[in-house]
Amino acid sequence: MTAVPLVAPARRERSKAFRRFTANRLGVFGLIVVVLLSLVALLAPAVAPFDPAKQDFSALLQPAGAAHWLGTDELGRDTLTRVMYGARISLSAGLVSVALALLAGTLLGLIAGFVGGWLDELIGRFIDALLAFPFLILAITLAAILGPSLQNTMLAIAIVTTPAFARVTRAQVLAQRELEYVQAAGALGAGRWRTLLRHILPNISGALIVQTSLAIAEAVLAESTLSFLGLGVQPPTPSWGSMLNTARGYLQTAPWLALAPGVIIFVTVLAFNLLGDGLRDALDPRSRTK
């Protein structure tokens, strides 16, 4: 008897949020670009015109043309192919690091917000301390300490992204804890963890979804920055940041070399930011900018 009125408004709210999101053209555009980029990353081995490592010394630094749509690099490798394979690195770095941060940050935030007391104090200080380090400086330091590789880049970005998730979760839990439905769940005999995971977590998922999208944008940017500095994925693995770093040396002779990796990083980060903004407007209309 109680299930119907409790579920129905939640479903209605979800469909309202869906309608609000689909009405936001920029948000939908962001989603489409993200889906397309993900497809390119997944299908790169099947759809890329060349092997990303194949060198062609008869076609060095070629501008865009019929044979190579985005030209070739200093070793005669096809730029379009390397941009497509680079999507695998950037998107997997973004997704894996943010998934790790989401898991760790949400857990820390849930515990701090719900348990409170000295544990909240301890986790709070830890989060504040991590947030005091400039994002990029901490990411560079961790990447340097762990050594340059894709896994370590992901780990470094996950560590610097975790406090943001913990802070958002903690604030949301503190707000929800005082609401009637949480007290009702407690009165009906639900244990602490059941209340936390079955009742509070679904109600704060909107804020976490928005944070996830914005964090992936930041993570993709951080991965390409680390690769640009030579601290991320190592050559010959194609990554957008290292492609851009190589292109720097050919600005006089082959300026187009910088264009493809630079534009694709920009478009990817913009798409995740547009998606995040669209999701925020849809899931939390109060924060909507008029």
Partner 1 sequence: MLIFAARRLLATIPTLLVVTLLVFSLVRLLPGDPARLQLGEEATPQALTELRHQMGLDRPVAAQYASWLGDLGRLDLGKSLQDHTSVAGLIAQKLPTTFELALLSLLVAVALALPAGIVSALMPGSVTDRLVTLLALSGISLPSFFLGILLVYAFSVNLAWIPASGYVGLSENAGLNLKLMILPAVTLGVGSAAVLTRFLRSSLLEVLSQDYVRTARAKGVAGRLVIVKHALRNALIPVITVLGLQLGGLLGGAVVTEQIFSIPGFGRLLVDAVFTRDLPVIQGMVLTSAALVFLVSFLIDLAYGAIDPRVRYG
Interface positions with partner 1 (CB under 8 A): 26, 125-126, 128-130, 132-138, 140-142, 144-147, 217, 221, 224-225, 228-231, 241, 244-245, 247-248, 251-252, 255, 258, 262-263, 265-266, 269-270, 273-274, 277, 289-290
Instruction: Find the shortest distance in angstroms from Cβ 228 to partner 1.
Output: 5
Cα 72 to the center of its chain, rounded Å? 29
Give the position of tokens 């939908």.
28
Nearer to partner 1 (CB atom), residue 200 or residue 210: 210
Nearer to partner 1 (CB atom), residue 91 or residue 200: 91
Instruction: Find the shortest distance in angstroms from Cβ 262 to partner 1.
Output: 4
Instruction: Find the shortest distance in angstroms from Cβ 93 to partner 1.
Output: 14
Nearer to partner 1 (CB atom), residue 5 or residue 117: 117
Which of 243, 161, 175 is closest to 203 using CA atoms?
175
Nearer to partner 1 (CB atom), residue 45 or residue 147: 147
Instruction: Find the shortest distance in angstroms from Cβ 44 to partner 1.
Output: 22
Q: What is the CA radius of gyration of the chain?
A: 22
Nearer to partner 1 (CB atom), residue 96 or residue 221: 221
Hey, what are 150's tokens?
């894709």
Instruction: Find the shortest distance in angstroms from Cβ 13 to partner 1.
Output: 25
DSSP 3-state of 43: helix
Q: What is the 3-state secondary structure (H, E, C) of 81-138?
A: HHHHHHHHHHHHHHHHHHHHHHHHHHHHHHHHHHHCHHHHHHHHHHHHHHHHCCHHHH
Give the integer Cα–Cα distance in Å for 29 and 19.
15
| 210: amino acid identity, one letter | V
